[in-house]
Amino acid sequence: MGKECLQIFLNLNFGTEELTITSALKALETYFLPKRNVVYERSVFNLCVQSSEEIVDCYVNRLRKLASSCQFGTLTDEMIHDSLVIGIQDKGTKVRLLREKDLSLDRALDMCKLSEVTNKQLKLIQKDEKQNNEELNLVQGKCKSKKDRKPPHLEKMSNQKKPNKPYPSKT
């Protein structure tokens, strides 16, 4: 313990209680740890929404961390549940969650995760379909251009140089 900390420790009021290591550590923690403003912590919690690229698990973990300083007590899971439903970015999932009767936090999490996976798979399917359509168009374009070509024996004749002199006229 440094000189400054020792001075603080000596000025702490222990009252009539016997000085033990536990009581000394508790007194120092009380002195050094900042007091939390519960109203402010709850305000931060209530304003928390899912960011655009944040997955549901990370969002819920962030909500749990914020809730730990809000002193919600037994209402913690319900508050996290409500914030999840209100703050989730995907509108379709939000609608499904709001329609559910007696929705628990675990059920809401399952629905959100399932929706997340489904949306990713749907994007992959759409990407594959687009790529397949582009390849099909490319192949169809090649086939069309082959049909428009002249047969090889006629193509050779058209590639030969034409004489510069006009043909003699028949009179």
Residue 23 — pLDDT band, cuts 50, 70, 90? confident
The domains found in the chain, sorted by start residue, are 3-32 (no CATH), 38-145 (1.10.1200.30)
Residues 15, 13: Cα–Cα separation, whole Å: 6
pLDDT of residue 160: 60
**What does the pLDDT average to over 109-117?**
94
Task: Dump pLDDT digits (tens) for 31-58.
Answer: 677 778 999 999 999 999 999 999 999 9
Question: Percentage of the chain with pLDDT > 90?
Answer: 47
Residue 166 — pLDDT band, cuts 50, 70, 90? low
| Amino acid identity, position 90 | D
User: Which of left, alpha, beta for 102 (phi over 0: left; psi -120 to 50: alpha)?
Assistant: left
Question: pTM above the 0.85 mark?
Answer: no
